[in-house]
A and B are shown apart, each in its own frame.
Chain A
Amino acid sequence: MPRLPVTKTPKPYVGGAFIRSESGRTRPLHDAAGTFLAHVPLCTRKDLRNAVEAAAKAGPGWARRTAYNRGQILYRLAEMLEARRAEFAAALVRFGARRAAALREVDAATDRLVHYAGWADKYEQLLGGVNPVAGPYFNFTVTEPMGVVGVLAPAAPALLGLISLTAPVIVSGNTAVVLASEPQPYPAILLGELLATSDLPGGVVNLLTGTRADLLPTFATHAHLRGLSAVADAAERRTLDLGAAESVKRVRYTPDAPLATWLGDAAQGLEPIRAFTEAKTTWHPIGA
């Protein structure tokens, strides 16, 4: 007797749990060959609101962890991604990537996590410091996380783009609400399953699937989101800039680029971390 296939209901990972959209809306997802794969939830602004609440709840605990511990957790994530390399590559191939390119993308995503894991206990020395003063006191600058940051991942590369934007946000103690690639949400669904079994506390990374047109205005205006890291076209940037100005929100754009650009060293570094930290400067008298 032929075995019935067990198909998966893809669910976004929000607040440490797998949710269905509160709207109940989904859209059919077909792979590159046109074969139906699954119905993927179309998250709404209320799902975004709930994700921000979850991220805010997880924030203080995540920010209080030591830099060393955050680095360990990101590195552990890379270990897990490495172990599931074939599964992630197969998912990318299924949606049209060539096999070699898919493997390169997964490997680069793993290496990117390792890169930012390494930064966890090093960026502070570069972004903060003891400032020179002409008086009998010390003057220090230390960095602090901003809070909840929205991430708008590029359409492609679906996995590497998402990780390249998210890892530098969370490494400094921010929490993230991420909108996955609209045409290719499946790698983000898989990533959610990876995060659920990682050491990353629930709510630090919240992954939403859905259409950008539905969610962009709310990402822009939600006052509880302190920053946005986005890949966006000109019309979207206008929406984001107007909403961000209203809610006094920092926005960092990454240009839309082909895979080769995302694979390169220029797509990582200190700057994306700096963009989502606040500098706190304080003085302290000498000898007190």
Chain B
Amino acid sequence: MRASSAPPALRRWFTAVGPVDRVGVEERVAKFTTRSIKKAAKVQGLKLAVSMVDLTTLEGKDTPGKVASLCRKALRPHDDPAVPPTAAVCLYPALVRAARRALGDRSPVRIASVATAFPSGQTALATRLAEVRRAVADGADEIDMVINRGAFLAGELGRVRDEIAAVVATCGPAALKVILEVGELETYDHIRAASCLALTELRPGDFIKTSTGKTGTNATLANTQVMLEAIRDHYLDTGIAIGMKPAGGIRTAKQALHFLVAVKETLGDAWLTPARYRFGASALLNDLVRQLEKERTGAYQAPYAFSEAAESY
């Protein structure tokens, strides 16, 4: 489906990156949910998923105390030492220092900070860059930026690209994750176009990310698949491997395994590592640990038996 009403610059970019076959993508991802992953393979998949979680808290009511407990949870998700730490914690820039205090300097858990006026991105570029600079100075290892969706949809692709480039330059050593906010891009063609646009500016070790988790539509297998295929095409063209981070809406271990199947069957084993694949999630970690505990003990577990659970019934 070509968006014929799109601005000319956007239309030219669509032609360059190619369209998305909507029916094909949706049929393809429906197949990912039919794989049978049991026993040892399941345990391996669940542990891999734990090691890929960006344990996230992005609420107005976050406090340094809550961040400290989140960090402890990220370091040691469960009392079973066979459960690995998560890849990172993900929080607002104002809490990066609290997280660094809680984790120390040589932590296996990285600190990711959303920046650039997350989640809307609607402030002046200078303000957004200042926020990135400050977060990195406070100790963030990774920056999650949002793209300028308004500019993208208005066809100002050069501006979107320049802003990404400016954030890349400002990040310095910190890895960058570019949030496309797929819920606001509306079509698969737009998602592919935005993915390809961001990929041209990113360095190896950077990521593209589906969404902020603050809008109605979050990561689905289908929109993640469109982005994975953009990463694959970019890799085949340039040899530069960019990572992927679906975020928002992934709450169950079963969903996480479906997403891992999608990565394995689209990008291959080289992407089955926290260096190239992340889950942006908060409730997911507990369900992963719960399913691991079920595999270990053979008995189904209650959700409230795990720390920081929201469920009490």
Q: Do A and B originate from a single complex?
A: yes
Considering only residues 113-169 of chain A, those with a C-beta below 8 Å from chain B are 147-148
Question: Are B313 and A223 in contact (CB-based, < 8 A)?
Answer: no
Question: Are A224 and B302 in contact (CB-based, < 8 A)?
Answer: yes
* A interface majority secondary structure: helix
Q: Which residues of B contact A247 (CB under 8 A)?
A: 299
Check if B311 is an interface residue, CB within 8 A of chain A.
Answer: yes
Question: Are B301 and A59 in contact (CB-based, < 8 A)?
Answer: no
Question: Are B311 and A223 in contact (CB-based, < 8 A)?
Answer: no
Check if B154 is an interface residue, CB within 8 A of chain A.
Answer: no
Q: Which residues of A contact B216 (CB under 8 A)?
A: none
Question: Are B313 and A49 in contact (CB-based, < 8 A)?
Answer: no
Max chain B C-beta neighbours (<10 A), residue from A56, A59, A63, A223: A223
Considering only residues 226-267 of chain A, those with a C-beta below 8 Å from chain B are 243, 246-247
Considering only residues 8-34 of chain A, those with a C-beta below 8 Å from chain B are none
Q: Which residues of A contact B311 (CB under 8 A)?
A: 56
Q: Which residue of A lies closest to B302 (CB)?
A: A224
Check if A218 is an interface residue, CB within 8 A of chain B.
Answer: yes
Question: Are B313 and A221 in contact (CB-based, < 8 A)?
Answer: no
Question: Are B313 and A246 in contact (CB-based, < 8 A)?
Answer: no
Complex CA gap A247/B300 in Å reads 10
Check if A60 is an interface residue, CB within 8 A of chain B.
Answer: yes
Check if A222 is an interface residue, CB within 8 A of chain B.
Answer: yes
Q: Which residues of B contact A63 (CB under 8 A)?
A: 313
Q: Which residues of A contact B300 (CB under 8 A)?
A: 45, 49, 52, 218, 221-224
Q: Which residues of B contact A147 (CB under 8 A)?
A: 313
Complex CA gap A211/B108 in Å reads 48
Question: Are B298 and A223 in contact (CB-based, < 8 A)?
Answer: no
Check if B303 is an interface residue, CB within 8 A of chain A.
Answer: yes
Complex CA gap A45/B294 in Å reads 13
Q: Mark B273-313, 1 if CB is under 8 A from A, else 0.
A: 00000000000000000000000001111110100000111
Complex CA gap A64/B191 in Å reads 43
Max chain A C-beta neighbours (<10 A), residue from B298, B299, B303, B313: B313
A49 → chain B closest CB, angstroms: 5
Size of the chain A interface, CB-CB below 8 angstroms: 17
Q: Which residues of A contact B305 (CB under 8 A)?
A: 223
Q: Which residues of B contact A224 (CB under 8 A)?
A: 300-303
Complex CA gap A60/B302 in Å reads 15
Q: Which residue of B lies closest to A145 (CB)?
A: B313
Question: Are A60 and B301 in contact (CB-based, < 8 A)?
Answer: no
Complex CA gap A99/B299 in Å reads 44
Q: Which residue of A lies closest to B304 (CB)?
A: A224
Complex CA gap A148/B301 in Å reads 13
Question: Are B299 and A60 in contact (CB-based, < 8 A)?
Answer: no
Q: Which residues of B contact A52 (CB under 8 A)?
A: 300
A11 → chain B closest CB, angstroms: 23
Q: Which residue of B lies closest to A146 (CB)?
A: B313
Q: Which residue of B lies closest to A52 (CB)?
A: B300
A65 → chain B closest CB, angstroms: 14
Q: Which residue of A lies closest to B299 (CB)?
A: A221
Q: Which residue of B lies closest to A60 (CB)?
A: B313
Considering only residues 245-286 of chain B, those with a C-beta below 8 Å from chain A are none
Complex CA gap A11/B298 in Å reads 28
Q: Mark B28-48, 1 if CB is under 8 A from A, else 0.
A: 000000000000000000000
Question: Are A148 and B313 in contact (CB-based, < 8 A)?
Answer: yes
Q: Which residue of B lies closest to A63 (CB)?
A: B313
Q: Which residues of B contact A59 (CB under 8 A)?
A: 313
A72 → chain B closest CB, angstroms: 22
Complex CA gap A63/B13 in Å reads 55
Q: Which residue of A lies closest to B252 (CB)?
A: A53
Considering only residues 64-99 of chain B, those with a C-beta below 8 Å from chain A are none
Max chain A C-beta neighbours (<10 A), residue from B300, B302, B312: B300
Q: Which residue of A lies closest to B298 (CB)?
A: A221
Q: Mark A26-68, 1 if CB is under 8 A from B, else 0.
A: 0000000000000000000100010010001001100100000
Complex CA gap A224/B312 in Å reads 11
Q: Which residues of A contact B303 (CB under 8 A)?
A: 56, 224
Complex CA gap A52/B301 in Å reads 11
Please name the 10 residue pairs, one residue from A and one from B, whose CB atoms are nearest each other, closest first: A221-B299, A59-B313, A224-B302, A222-B300, A223-B302, A223-B301, A60-B313, A56-B313, A49-B300, A147-B313
Can you list 5 contacts pairing A with B, beta carbon distance less than 8 Å?
Answer: A45-B300, A49-B300, A60-B313, A148-B313, A243-B299
